[in-house]
Structure 1
Amino acid sequence: MKMVIAIVQKKDSNHLQSALIEAGFRSTRLASVGGFLSEGNVTFLIGVVDPQIPMVMEIIREHAQSRDQFVSSPAATDLGRSTMPVNVQVGGATVFVLPVEQFEQF
């Protein structure tokens, strides 16, 4: 058994959660905040048996798309300076797959 931990942008989270439910996967959804842009993320915890990993990864890949976004430099904003917006890639997913030694559900 594995624990899939998927960190996705908040914009993608509802579509991803719906797709996981539709495919029969249960998950726990946690609010989280990203480091660089300090924007809202959602972290999904998904317990799966080993043969299901490719299917879960494909669902995440389909529903957590990266996109370009113009943002101001967080450091300049914190110092009260305005800067020209910078084009950065946001979204997508960061996924970890960890072994699970034991699973209990009560």
Structure 2
Amino acid sequence: MKLLVCIIDNVYADEVEIQLKKQGYRMTELASSGGFWRKGNTTFLFGVEEKDIEQLQEALKSACLDLEKRKQRKSKQAHRYTSFLLNVKDAAPFMTIGK
């Protein structure tokens, strides 16, 4: 099991949530700002099996591109989102803080 942490520009957040839920992905959504991209963004947490990682990453990319195509606009930034892939066993120490 892997944990995909995806920090995405708020412009794409609603579309990502809608499309990925339709595809059966379960996620946790965290509102976040500052620091990383210094503007409004949303952080999604996905629990995913290793065999499904590539499919999830393609779904994220597709949701962003679909929004741009529908609104007929191109991204003004180099990246639509940034993601980090962690082994769940490596993330476990963070989940036990405060217990």
TM interval, short-chain normalised: 0.7 to 0.9
TM-score (norm 2): 0.73
Counterpart of 2:75 in 1: which secondary structure? strand
Is 1:100 matched up with 2:96? no
If asked which structure has higher relative contact order (CA below 8 Å, sep 6+), I would say 2
Which residue number in structure 2 is paired with residue 49 of structure 1? 49
Q: Deviations over 1:25-52 (max 9, x none)?
A: 1000001114376311000000011111
Bigger Rg over Cα: 1
Which residue number in structure 2 is paired with residue 67 of structure 1? 75
Structure 1 portions without partners, runs of 5+: 69-88
Distance 1:54 1:33 in 2: 27
Higher helix share: 2
Distance 2:30 2:37 in 1: 18
Counterpart of 2:35 in 1: which secondary structure? coil
Distance 1:43 1:4 in 2: 10
Higher strand share: 1
TM-score (norm 1): 0.68
Which residue number in structure 2 is paired with residue 31 of structure 1? 31
Q: Deviations over 1:52-105 (max 9, x none)?
A: 10111001112235711xxxxxxxxxxxxxxxxxxxx265010101001299xx
RMSD: 2.3
Structure 2 portions without partners, runs of 5+: 66-73, 93-99
Change (3 A) 1:59 1:8: same
Aligned residues: 83
Change (3 A) 1:36 1:3: closer
